[in-house]
Amino acid sequence: MLGHRLASFTRPLTRAYAPKWPRPKPGTSERPPYRPSDPLNNNPSATVTALPDENLTFIHRPPPTAPSPISYTTNPVSPLLRPPTSPTSILPPLLRPSVDKSVPTRLTAVQVAEIRRLRSLDPVKWTRGRLAKKFDCTQQFVALVAATKKTTRTKLIRRRDEEHEANRGKWSEKRSLVAAISQKRRQYW
């Protein structure tokens, strides 16, 4: 048993596989090194010129982005250089759609009087938004022309706050807590 262990230590160390380095010599059974084909020889647009005096070959390949020799500013080959067919086809969308809106028409004195009458008649039904849609004007214009009386305005605000408080009473405990936290956070801003 002891002799067997000693024999394993005295055996010469040899590999059973081929090492990565050094590379095998040419002519052996190993795979040959990769030799890529010359892209100039395989390019169909390359022009090959043999120079007989010096036994050289000159290969010229034009870059793929080179303009065509028959491209003119009056008749460009690239579609990016051609003039647009329709003026709106090349424009990006507007950043603010309000820029494209037409200016509202001026209201007559009769229409302004009607706005004031409806607003004073029932300010709950005839809100600024509803009057602005009916007469095709802005809400700010309705507020300037037919502002509600201060007493009516305080009643409307009190009524709105009561409705909001009734809706807050339906909230869950978690939602109430989140609202209280955000309100407290606003105080420290």
Closest by Cα among 128, 135, 93, 132 to 110: 135
Which residues are paired to 60 by β-bridges? Answer: 47
Q: Is 56 helix (H, G, I), strand (E, B) or coil?
A: strand
| Longest CA pairwise span in the chain (Å) | 124
pLDDT band at residue 10, thresholds of 50, 70 and 90? low
Q: Is 153 helix (H, G, I), strand (E, B) or coil?
A: helix
| Per-residue pLDDT at 9 exceeds 80 | no
For the chain, give the percent of residues with pLDDT over 70. Answer: 67
The pLDDT of residue 44: 78
pLDDT band at residue 35, thresholds of 50, 70 and 90? confident
Q: Are 111 and 104 in contact (CB under 8 A)?
A: no
pTM for the structure as a whole: 0.41
Please give, one letter per residue, the 3-state secondary structure of 81-125. CCCCCCCCCCCCCCCCHHHHCCCCCCCCHHHHHHHHHHHHHCCCC
CB environment 34-60: b (16+ within 10 A), e (fewer): eeeeeeeeeeeeeeeeeeeeeeeeeee
The pLDDT of residue 99: 73
